[in-house]
Structure 1
């Protein structure tokens, strides 16, 4: 089984899993894969919206039920949650709508919102709206990148799968290094 077949078979599962957490890199690549014909663009957007909404709702509920315990157990998370709580108290609507675009606070924000006075109904509505904005926007950037790149690099189709895999691996390495440095600085 070659990489293009793997993308076609498991791409949406990867989009869903990536959207539960951070998601931009996976969604950008999925948008590119949709342009190349490996994935259906509408399915990519729908799956990313679903994953984003479920992931943020999970973290919100975890913050609502276990926020204080999480902060006690993970002091580094506590710093980010306190910073996020300060932002939320000033303007909860803007923060909830923008949280999918807040790199580095993606998990801390919904946990903090769960610990705030924001009702779960208000969070759910705004979270769904945020996912509805985020998924097509990010996937479209990947799709447009594919459209812009394709005419200029004729031989790209032979190696694009490996480039996509390399980008995912690089993104994971960067994420792990940043996380390790963050833990070391505490």
Structure 2
């Protein structure tokens, strides 16, 4: 543990830069604790608050700009990739997406305080056409608030943090193992939370081929597009009705209880469609199935999409 403490003191700026960069790129390596510890080490001989802050801001903006241009190039498709690498539950991702769509670029001021939101919000900024200069200003300010709060907390509780570091140093290799165990436990808890959440939404699905066969045979299942309004601009399945998660309480279906209902979205694990399907089943509609792969799978299979 003494070796790690020496590394932080000697290469603190490099460690802060790499840690922040990797976390903002989406890896489950929390940077906030590193910033807090760095804040506790602030002194004229070791680190300057302003230099540490600028280092963290620079690293965050680099990573966020990467996701901004990725979102601009690939649009909503990148959201699925981000959800797959994120350890945060899909509900957190969908709520983060809703927040950005509601308030726009000001969401960048708080996105780094919400797990899984930083990369999502940056990609959304690109896909929704937020101007680059607006993105850079808001993202830079958000990074300053996030990193600055951690450094301030570190300096405020520097004595307690120093005592903790000293205890870990005295523990030697056991202190190092304790820190590693804490990191592993954090990642494992996030993974388990996500797995349990997905399991709770497990239900029968319908494939895009099965839905296409139904339509080709003249059957008319009720098709619900559950995406947010921003996400439907690139087209939808012909005949679909729109029923976003935010408008779920107002959703009324004129149908018999056992009429087939197919729901789709554009998120991994059909999370939004599954949540609405669960709500409909609770109301007494039992023949309800999310579309496996959502609109992306439908489009990739070459089936018809309309925007009129």
Smaller-chain TM-score bracket: 0.7 to 0.9
**Displacement of 1:80:** 5.3
- Aligned with 2:130 (options 76, 101, 118): 118
**Displacement of 1:25:** 1.7
Give me the whole-angstrom Cα distance separating, in 2, the residues matched to 1:50 and 1:169. 30
Q: Kindly indicate whether the alpha-carbon contact (under 8 Å) linking 1:35 and 1:143 is maintained by their aligned counterparts in 2.
A: no
Give me the whole-angstrom Cα distance separating, in 2, the residues matched to 1:139 and 1:127. 18
Aligned pairs for 1:34-183 within 5 A: 34=42, 38-73=46-81, 76=84, 82-147=94-159, 158-161=166-169, 166-167=178-179, 170-183=182-195
Cα gap change, 1:79 to 1:165, in 2 (>3 Å) = same
Give me the whole-angstrom Cα distance separating, in 2, the residues matched to 1:86 and 1:105. 11
Give me the whole-angstrom Cα distance separating, in 2, the residues matched to 1:42 and 1:165. 32
**Displacement of 1:27:** 1.0
- Aligned with 1:27 (options 17, 28, 35): 35
Give me the whole-angstrom Cα distance separating, in 2, the residues matched to 1:146 and 1:14. 19
For structure 2, the 5+ residue unaligned runs are 24-29, 199-308
**Displacement of 1:99:** 1.1
1:159 aligned counterpart, secondary structure: helix
Q: Which moved more, 1:69-78 or 1:45-54?
A: 69-78
1:2 aligned counterpart, secondary structure: helix
Q: Normalized per residue, which structure has more helix? A: 1
1:34 aligned counterpart, secondary structure: coil
Give me the whole-angstrom Cα distance separating, in 2, the residues matched to 1:142 and 1:164. 20
> What does the per-residue CA deviation read over 1:78-103, in whole Å, with 9 as the maximum and x for residues that have no partner?
76554333222221143111112222
Give me the whole-angstrom Cα distance separating, in 2, the residues matched to 1:41 and 1:87. 31
Give me the whole-angstrom Cα distance separating, in 2, the residues matched to 1:135 and 1:8. 18
Question: Which protein, 1 or 2, shows the higher relative CO under an 8 Å CA cutoff with sep ≥ 6?
Answer: 1
Q: Which moved more, 1:92-101 or 1:27-36?
A: 27-36
Task: Please report the TM-score for the alignment, with normalisation by the length of structure 1.
Answer: 0.76
Task: Please report the TM-score for the alignment, with normalisation by the length of structure 2.
Answer: 0.50
Query: Whose radius of gyration is greater, 1 or 2?
Result: 2
Aligned to 1:6: 7
Alpha-carbon RMSD: 3.2
Q: Which moved more, 1:118-127 or 1:166-175?
A: 166-175
Q: Normalized per residue, which structure has more strand? A: 2
For structure 1, the 5+ residue unaligned runs are none
